[in-house]
Structure 1
Amino acid sequence: MQCESCMYYQYDEEYEEYFCDVNLDEDEMERFLRDGFRNCPYYRLEDEYRTVRKQM
């Protein structure tokens, strides 16, 4: 899993650290913390050119 390239991986200037910005319900969070996911199902490649391709 490459969190650094995920669109949900955000930087918090106040705390000066990165965090995952996916909203999980209680069950999903429990599975996530127990490492119930081998590959993160929320991972989405950060693609800054996605909007540009749609306009073409």
Structure 2
Amino acid sequence: MKKQSAKKNSCEYCGNYAYDEENDYYVCEVNLDEDEMVRFLSGRDFACPYYQPGDEYRIVRKQM
């Protein structure tokens, strides 16, 4: 069950994770402070406070 929660909070499923066509890779559009960046790059369990689910259909469901 831990895999599912980790997967849910991973950058790949975040609305702030965007593809940069100029550099040909994905980047986080949120500016992390120095401490957050160290935790993120060290590979420890990083719980991003700026995580937003990348759900394009969220607005549609609210309208139903």
Aligned-pair identity in percent equals 52
Task: Give the counterpart letter for 2:52 in structure 1.
Answer: R
Q: What is the Cα-based RMSD across aligned positions, in Å? A: 1.9
Written as runs of structure 1 = structure 2, the 5 A alignment for 1:1-20 is 1-20=9-28
SS at match of 1:10: strand
Q: Which has the higher contact order (CA 8 A, sep 6+)?
A: 1
State the TM-score, normalized to the length of structure 1.
Answer: 0.76
Q: List alignment gaps of at least 5 residues for structure 1.
A: none
Q: List alignment gaps of at least 5 residues for structure 2.
A: 1-8
In structure 1, the residue matched to 2:39 is 35
Larger proportion of helix: 2
Structure 1 residue ranges, 4+ long, deviating more than 6 angstroms after superposition? none
Task: Give the counterpart letter for 2:25 in structure 1.
Answer: E
State the TM-score, normalized to the length of structure 2.
Answer: 0.68
Task: Give the counterpart letter for 2:60 in structure 1.
Answer: V
